[in-house]
Structure 1
Amino acid sequence: MRNLLYILLSITLFSCSKGKVDYVFDKLPEQRMIERNSELQNLLAGSTTGWKAFLRTSLRGNGYGFYMKFDNANNVSMLSDWNDASASTTKQSTFRVQYISNSTLVFDTYNYISIMQDPNNAVNGGTVREGLQSDAEFEYIRSNGDSIVLVGRKYRNFLYLVKATSQEQTAYGSGGYLTGINNIKTFLTANRYNYVDINGKKLAIDLNSNAKTASASVLYPPDSVGVVSTAFAYDMNGVFFYNGLLFDGIKFMGLKQKSSNSIVAVDDKMKEYELKQSPAPVLPLASVIGSSITAFTLPNATAYAGWSADFQARRAQVRQSLLTGGYNLTLGKIVLTFNKSTNRMTFVADIPQGTTAYTATFTMIYAQSNGMLTFRKASDYLGTNASITEAGFAPILAQRLLADRFTVDYYFPSTGGVTAMFTSVEHPDFVFTSTF
């Protein structure tokens, strides 16, 4: 006990002595805070040509692009690829740099970044209170002179800033951002099935302009499909992949438009790969049904390119049965929607009654084996208006879809384009095609 008291007394006396204090760092904490804040402030305002910025949101993994120019009076002017107006109309707001457990860039008045976190879901299509789950406060992580990396304080998504060139600054200021975005969209609309050759395989690259996500997929023999996806944002002359798309040791960071009819994929070593086009999706249709291709639409028609005589006759039978079945219904388009994660397929048919719109929904479980599809009734097979129309749809459902095996492949109408073709194995004269 006496030894313990001696030790405690020694600690107390030592802690109260007025000796020199050795700091872990060579400066006081408040000095380091001030210097780090100044470093970030000077970096932001120091780029006379502004910054290209890229951000991901958490709710759906969408990506967004920006152009920002900061000044020393804590003003920031901004463009965004949120929509056509934001890509062509500069919005002014204010910002500040303050220390909140780290030096933090705070956008403190409403701007285009604020749209992503707006709690009014009518503004951004997000959730009430959380919007698209994005941030307006970003902690400073690091910089290398030409780029700055920050991270959102709540949702931890990175905000990347890359110094713009003088040519890019001029283009951003003269409507070039919207022009560049539209050029990319025009190219990808005209060329739907894009791929790059990588280690002897065709890597399909697809951009969903509405969801602002990019995916890459490849077929590994015999029938395994590898898919990666990420958010993307529009740059002045291309797109930026938020986390990159990694395949076989090659990490693709984005696409760059070289001319009106030429785009290249660029990896993290700045190597360029020609983006080639295919007349149909690169991967076999059976391998991507329910994943990258989910919805197949049979139009409201008595005949259609690729429909067999037997299918047309059976569709006419269904139409007549609905018309005379007591409700005076007609038959419109039919949509088959596949979900690979649940192996469910919904068969939804338009069945208007005069000018009043109705649908009939049947839900099935589907399986794939040796490239063939089979269907069986799900526990909730009979959906909206299905019980009163089940007998009417029997020539297509009970007698074919639920009874036979089907192959699925691409079909090329003589008029151009590509559709999907479903063919019964047991009744090869039963064939229908659909858009997708």
Structure 2
Amino acid sequence: MKNILIPGLLLAIISITACRKIDSDPVFGQRPDERLMEILEKADQQLKSSEFGYQAYLFPSEGGNGGFAFYVKFDPNNRVQMYSDINASTSSQVGSSSYRLKAIQTPSLFFDTYNYMHVLSDPDNPLGIGGRAVGNYGDFEFSIDSTKGDTIHLTGNKQKSPFVLVKASQADANFYKNNGLYRLDSTLRDYMTNATFLYVEDAKSGNYAFSLNADTRVVSLSRVEGGEVVSLNTEYALAPYGLYLNKAITIGGVSYRYIYWDAATKSLYFKNGDTRINIKNGTTAIIPFWRYIGVDFNSLVINDSPMDGWSTDFTTKWNAARVAMLNGPYTLRMGYLFLTFNKDVKLMTINLFIYQGANQFLATYPYSYTVTEDGVFKFKKAGDPNGNGGLIAANMAPLLNHIENDRFTTDYFIHPVEGVMGMMKSVENPAFSFSTYTTNF
């Protein structure tokens, strides 16, 4: 339809518009910038008003490494003092930097000069705890999401790392200032080394195996459901009482955000009101070792020198391979050997590190495999070794002959120093067995 312009009507509209007064008064009593400034002032007051500072927990985004604990104390001069569990130095030596509150799109807290938090996002990766050029995917600028009671929830502006501030007591502050983070980390490492088969009872749906990895800062509750290992995993950060979990873990219909450490009994426990749910140390495993392969870890690692758990037959043949490489034309030194499993395609690859002087090389041997319902493995060559593997195939023959011709069972092995490890044993030749570390390769 064609529009018709009426000159008189247009003039009237222009006149009315020109005479209308622009109302700059806020509809709700405050302009948005005034409300934002008020929020920032209240946040600043809250940060500075905590006499004993804050417990702080930072969980780097995907690609990071577990959770990190901080103690932060904000002073009236926009300075902050802090400790952290990044390493022994940051736990014992107070760090300091400036901070400011600023309105970007939301009220934000900026740590604007270098401190321990910056270490986690430093692309130079000075402490070797993250990736080159990306650091550990941490944040040091945060949006303030919410405040509830003594707790402030924030989110990193760049990496979206969750950051939690919890008002500290004097006892909490003393814990941090007396190197408590480092001492607790050492205590938990000793605890896990000395523990055998930790578990949590769940009367409603069955018990869980419990594990704590102090290197990745992850706790796991696992059990077998429908023939598969099902795990509840979450990152943790150290706290004055034990562990603060990034995500709550639900056991028997109750969700838990904290795991407590009992220094008197040297044990961990959950707490539901006044009821303790103890993490117990059993004599047998809830989950057979073989079910974890390709799930909780993908590699069994054979040490680069004889150790407890190696049978005489295995040690003799390993030494024969080592001597043959060393005396061979390339003068090679035998390093760690990884049996790396891809559960999805049923492929096991032997990855052997070998050294010529200071130069490192990798020899690989691919095998397909089957595993029975009882956990018996059978391996079959799935291709040729790589070039390095081919060069030392004759040296490796005493070991590879067993891999290619025998069936193997796996089990737990309790090492007197290392704690719980793995073990593989030949079915046809039981005298051929060896202990292993576990890792992801």
Task: Please classify the TM superposition score into its range, dividing by the shorter chain length.
Answer: 0.7 to 0.9
Q: Residue in 2 aligned with 1:217?
A: 222
What's the offset of the Cα at 1:56? Answer: 1.0
Report the RMSD for the aligned CA atoms in angstroms.
3.7
Letter of the structure 1 residue corresponding to residue 228 of structure 2: S
Contact 1:183 1:260 in 2 (8 A): no
Contact 2:229 2:295 in 1 (8 A): no
Identity among equivalent pairs (%): 27
Specify the SS of the correspondent of 2:207. strand
CA distance in 1, matches of 2:124, 2:19: 57
Deviation sequence 1:336-379 (CA, Å, 0-9, x none): 33344664433245667899987643233334332222323344
What's the offset of the Cα at 1:87? Answer: 0.9
Q: Residue in 2 aligned with 1:182?
A: 186
Contact 2:52 2:170 in 1 (8 A): yes
What's the offset of the Cα at 1:307? Answer: 2.8
Deviation sequence 1:1-28 (CA, Å, 0-9, x none): 3589969975994696238678564421
Which 5+ residue runs of structure 2 have no aligned equivalent? none
Residue from 211, 226, 232 that aligns with 1:228: 232
Contact 1:49 1:166 in 2 (8 A): yes
- 411-420 vs 388-397, which deviates more? 411-420
Q: Residue in 1 aligned with 2:80?
A: 76
Contact 2:309 2:423 in 1 (8 A): no
Specify the SS of the correspondent of 1:48. coil
Q: Residue in 2 aligned with 1:389?
A: 392
Residue from 277, 302, 311 that aligns with 1:297: 302
Contact 2:99 2:110 in 1 (8 A): yes
Distance 1:219 1:325, change over 3 A: same
Correspondences of 1:109-120 after superposition (within 5 Å): 109-120=113-124
CA distance in 2, matches of 1:355, 1:64: 35
CA distance in 2, matches of 1:393, 1:414: 29
Residue from 62, 67, 76 that aligns with 2:66: 62
Specify the SS of the correspondent of 1:110. coil
What's the offset of the Cα at 1:313? Answer: 6.8
Residue from 236, 241, 247 that aligns with 1:237: 241
Correspondences of 1:351-430 after superposition (within 5 Å): 360-370=363-373, 371-379=375-383, 381-383=384-386, 385-397=388-400, 399-411=401-413, 419-425=421-427, 427-429=428-430
Letter of the structure 1 residue corresponding to residue 207 of structure 2: K
Distance 1:24 1:118, change over 3 A: farther
CA distance in 2, matches of 1:187, 1:8: 86
- 139-148 vs 127-136, which deviates more? 127-136
Specify the SS of the correspondent of 2:365. strand
Contact 1:187 1:260 in 2 (8 A): no
CA distance in 1, matches of 2:405, 2:338: 19
Contact 1:195 1:202 in 2 (8 A): yes
Q: Residue in 1 aligned with 2:435?
A: 434
Distance 1:341 1:168, change over 3 A: farther
Distance 1:406 1:74, change over 3 A: same
Residue from 155, 158, 161 that aligns with 2:159: 155
Q: Does 1:203 align with 2:208?
A: yes
Q: Does 1:253 align with 2:257?
A: yes
Contact 1:308 1:429 in 2 (8 A): no
What's the offset of the Cα at 1:241? Answer: 1.2
What's the offset of the Cα at 1:295? Answer: 2.3
Q: Residue in 1 aligned with 2:43?
A: 40
CA distance in 2, matches of 1:265, 1:4: 82
Specify the SS of the correspondent of 2:146. strand
Deviation sequence 1:290-345 (CA, Å, 0-9, x none): 332432325644x9656375x56765775686678766768676443334466443
- 115-124 vs 269-278, which deviates more? 269-278
What's the offset of the Cα at 1:115? Answer: 0.9
Deviation sequence 1:377-432 (CA, Å, 0-9, x none): 344x41353112223433432x432234322223468999655333444x254641
Residue from 117, 131, 137 that aligns with 1:133: 137
What's the offset of the Cα at 1:140? Answer: 1.0
Distance 1:334 1:177, change over 3 A: closer
Distance 1:268 1:72, change over 3 A: farther
For normalisation by structure 2, the TM-score amounts to 0.83
For normalisation by structure 1, the TM-score amounts to 0.83
Distance 1:304 1:45, change over 3 A: closer
Distance 1:250 1:295, change over 3 A: farther
- 355-364 vs 101-110, which deviates more? 355-364
Distance 1:285 1:355, change over 3 A: same
What's the offset of the Cα at 1:285? Answer: 0.6
Letter of the structure 2 residue corresponding to residue 219 of structure 1: V
CA distance in 2, matches of 1:243, 1:102: 24
Number of residues of Structure 1 aligned to a counterpart in Structure 2: 430
Q: Residue in 1 aligned with 2:31?
A: 28
